[in-house]
Amino acid sequence: MFKYALLFIAGLAICSISCKKDDKQGGDGGNFVIEAADVIVVSGDDYDVVTVGFGISGLWGMFIEVATGKYVTGEFKLTLKSPPTAEVHISGLNEKVKESVNVSNPDVRMTISSMFIAYDEKGSHIGYFRHIGKPSDKDVYDGDVYDGDVVVCYVYVDRDCTMTGTFEYAGGEATFDWSLKKGWNISYVKKTVGIDSDYVIEVLTTQKPSNFNWNWYYYDKDYWKDTSATKNRHFVEILNPTDWE
C-alpha cells in the first residue's frame, strides 16, 4: 500500500550523501551529488546491476529519469542537475495544502522522489535502491521500512521556502518542518501506520534525525510484488503536493 504526501530539500553547489558521511544541506541552486557506499542487499542479489537511475514524476504521470551512474561493488554516484530536465513536472502547491500549512512563499514550485532504479547491462529494470535510517537499537540488515524508520527523499524547489504545520489528506496526515533552499534538498520522512487502521501519519523534516543508522538498501524487482507486507511495512514513493485532496 502506497500513500502519497509531500516533501522538500535544498541543494548546495555540490553536496554529497553517503551512509558513511553526514548528509550535507546547501542552497545555491547548483548541482547535487549523491553517493552510496556499502549497499545492503535485502532481496535477490546485486551482481547483475550495472547502472543506477534516479527518477521523478513527469508530465501525465510518466516516470522521468533525471540522473544515472555506474554501480560497482556496492557503490554508486550520480549527479542531480539544477534545474532538472524540461520533461520533469515541477508543480505548484495544492490550494488545500496552502490553506493548512504555513508556507513562506506560496508560489513555490517543486518535485520530489526517493526512487533509485537498478538496471542490468541490457538496460532492463531489475531492482530498486533506498536510503533509509533506522533507530540505533534496530537491526540495520532488516531492509523493510517499519514504523519509526526514516526514508530519505530528494526534493527540488525553484525558490527558497519554509513550510510548517500539518495537512490532513485522504487516508492520513503529514506534518512539516522544512527549511528549503532553491535547488535540490534532502527531506527525512518518518512514517507511522496504525496497526488496526489504514491511516498514515508522516513527519517530514529537513533536519537530520539523531541516533539513527543510515544505510543504502537494494531490493530486486520481485520484492515489490510481495503482497504479504503488513501495515507497518511501507515505503515512501513520490510525494506530490498537487495530488492531495
Domain ranges for the chain: 32-243
Query: Which residue type does 120 have?
Result: D
- For residue 244, what are the contacts with CB-CB under 8 A and spacing of at least 6? 4, 5, 6, 94, 96, 97, 167, 169, 170
Whether 52 has a pLDDT exceeding 80, the answer reads yes
User: Considering the chain, what is the average pLDDT of its residues?
Assistant: 77
Whether 15 has a pLDDT exceeding 90, the answer reads no
* SS3 per residue for 114-177: CEEEEECCCCCEEEEEEEEEEECCCCCCCCCCECCCEEEEEEEECCCEEEEEEEEECCEEEEEE
**Angstrom distance (rounded) from CA 129 to CA 228:** 20
Grid coordinates 535485502 are at which residue?
Answer: 42
> What share of the chain has pLDDT > 90, as a percent?
41
The answer to whether 213 touches 136, Cβ cutoff 8 Å, is: yes
H or E element that contains 97: helix 95-100
User: pTM for the whole thing?
Assistant: 0.80
**Angstrom distance (rounded) from CA 195 to CA 2:** 16
Whether 237 has a pLDDT exceeding 80, the answer reads no
In the structure, what pLDDT confidence band is assigned to residue 139 with cuts at 50, 70 and 90? confident
pLDDT at 24: 53
